[in-house]
Amino acid sequence: MTKQERIDNMMRLSGTDVRKCMKCGKCSGRCPAFKDMDIKPHQFVSMLGQGKIDQLLESKAIWNCLACMACVERCPRGVAPAAVVEAVRDTVVRAQGANGLKAEDIPPIVDEFIPQQLLVSAYRKYNK
């Protein structure tokens, strides 16, 4: 796969139009994980638009994003920075091969109070 194909694939995975970004930084201003992210939400959008995917793929921030969607709600241009972060994370996870979360690895009762949504989210996050 060529680099351009990888860029196109990541843009398609994100499902958001990074070209609409006006670089206002409001998404990063609202992000609760901002301090922990080596690449900030607005930079994910900007760097994908510039095709700087190698830096994104090495970013530690993909594991710091809380998927809270505050950046998406804040964006005045309808861009979804969280979707870009997720697209990068999915690309990294897929490249690692079949190491996703398996149902048989989860004990019958993890915790009686654990929300079912958490497990569904974990499957979604780690099995793409």
**Residue 67 lies near ligand SF4 (rule: CB under 6 A):** yes
- Nearest-angstrom CA–CA distance, 128 and 124: 7
**By C-beta, is 71 or 88 nearer to ligand SF4?**
71
SS3 95: helix
Number of residues lying near ligand SF4 (CB under 6 A): 28
**Applying CB under 6 A, which part among 23-31, 48-56, 92-100, 118-126 lies near ligand SF4?**
23-31
- Nearest-angstrom CA–CA distance, 5 and 80: 21
* Contact yes or no for 10/50 (Cβ under 8 A): no
Q: Which of 41, 48, 49, 56 binds ligand SF4 (CB under 6 A)?
A: 41
**Residue 23 lies near ligand SF4 (rule: CB under 6 A):** yes
Site for ligand SF4 in 72-101 (CB under 6 A): 74-75, 77, 79, 81-82, 85
Q: Residue 125: which residues within 8 A CB-CB, separation 6 or more?
A: 67, 89
**Residue 49 lies near ligand SF4 (rule: CB under 6 A):** no
